[in-house]
Amino acid sequence: MSVLNFDYKKALILFFLVGLPVISANITHDSHDTHWALAPFSLISQGIQRSYFTLSSGVRGTTRTYLNLVGIKKKNRLLEEKNDELRAQLGALTELKLENQRLNSLLDFQKNSNMDLLAAKVIASGTLPDHSALVIDKGYEHGIQKNMAAITPGGVVGYVIESLPKTSKILLITDRYMVVDALIQRSRSRGILEGYSKHLGHLSHIDSSTDVLIGDLIVTSGLQKVFPKGFPVGQVISVKDGPQKINKEILVKPAIDPYKTEELFIILNPQNESFEPKPDEMETALPLTDAQPNNSESDSPSSGESSPLKDNLNQESSPKQ
């Protein structure tokens, strides 16, 4: 066997198969230095890697955005439903809050009053604009009788014209068949308040010499024994001389809008209470408006010791000259 007969091919294969891994195992990898020969490859690979990353991240981002959009749409629909639900709840809560405020004011009024008051809810109303009536959820089974007064803390609503077992009908202050014996609070002149139109009353039987100004408060006289004395009915919004200048034609805006009434009181015994202001309060009494006609005799201040009734009227109306 000659040395020349050595199979170099086999030896080379053996070397690569066994030798190289053995050699490689003993080579320490220096992470800090890049061999100069590898630098161009590193540079190129870096560029390619970055390009691939940018491309793949772009594709992935677009795909994710699309997938998210589907999710967002679904989520948006859910949120919208939730929002609608919350809105409905908010509306109901606001309604409850307002009802609570109204009921609280009614309760305060009932507590501070000497009258026997029966609270009732409005359940229906007349639908013709020329005839005004409300139906409440209390009837003669609850003690309501014909001709009993219906009021709110803000003013007169009307009186009972029909009492059935469980419901009663209230004729409103603005109905043309309504008649209330009334006083001009400041001048103490008496007149008859009748319904005029859907939102106004008319004070009649006031002679032309009577001292009446726009903004004067009209109160109940108490003579009918239906309403307590001195309870607000409305406010003068227009004063004109009647035909032949014998009477004055006075239009009155009700102290409350009877059509907006949702809860009210029925007075079971009006004689126990008087809402007449004390003499010192009379000096600072109405008219409520700042604007006075030139022949005004009253220079009284319109603020200061104002009564709650007066405040209520100030809030509810903005009288015109």
Contact residues for another protein, defined by CB under 8 A: 122-133, 135, 169, 171, 175-177, 194-198, 202, 259-260
Contacts for 215 with CB less than 8 Å, ≥ 6 apart: 235, 236, 286, 287, 288, 289, 291, 292, 319
When the beta carbons of 162 and 276 are compared against another protein, the nearer one is 162
Question: Letter for the amino acid at 109?
Answer: F
By beta-carbon proximity to another protein, the closer residue of 53 and 177 is 177
Q: For residue 188, what are its two tokens? A: 């103490």
Least separation in angstroms between residue 292's CB and another protein is 27
Q: Which is nearer to another protein, 156 or 285 (CB)?
A: 156
Is the CB of 102 or the CB of 198 nearer to another protein?
A: 198
* Least gap, CB of 137 to another protein (angstroms): 11
CB of 106 or CB of 179, closer to another protein:
179
Cα 301 from Cα 138, distance rounded (Å): 42
Residue 251 or 282: the one with the smaller Cβ distance to another protein is: 251
What's the min distance (Å) between Cβ of 289 and another protein?
24
Minimal distance, residue 276 CB to another protein, in Å? 28
Distance between CA atoms of 80 and 75, rounded to whole angstroms? 8
Given phi > 0 = left and psi -120 to 50 = alpha, else beta, which region is 113?
A: beta
Residues contacting residue 19 through CB under 8 Å, at least 6 positions apart: none
CB of 175 to another protein, least distance (A): 8
Which residues are paired to 163 by β-bridges?
168
Smallest distance, another protein to C-beta of residue 317, A: 17
Query: What is the rounded distance in angstroms from the CA atom of residue 75 to the CA atom of residue 68?
Result: 10
Of 125 and 298, the one with the shorter C-beta distance to another protein is: 125
Which phi and psi (to 5°) does residue 183 adopt?
-125, 145
Structure tokens at 268: 């079971």
Asked if 170 contacts 133 with a C-beta cutoff of 8 angstroms, the reply is: yes
Shortest separation between residue 161's beta carbon and another protein, angstroms: 8
Q: How many CA atoms, within 13 angstroms, populate the side-chain half-sphere of residue 143?
A: 11
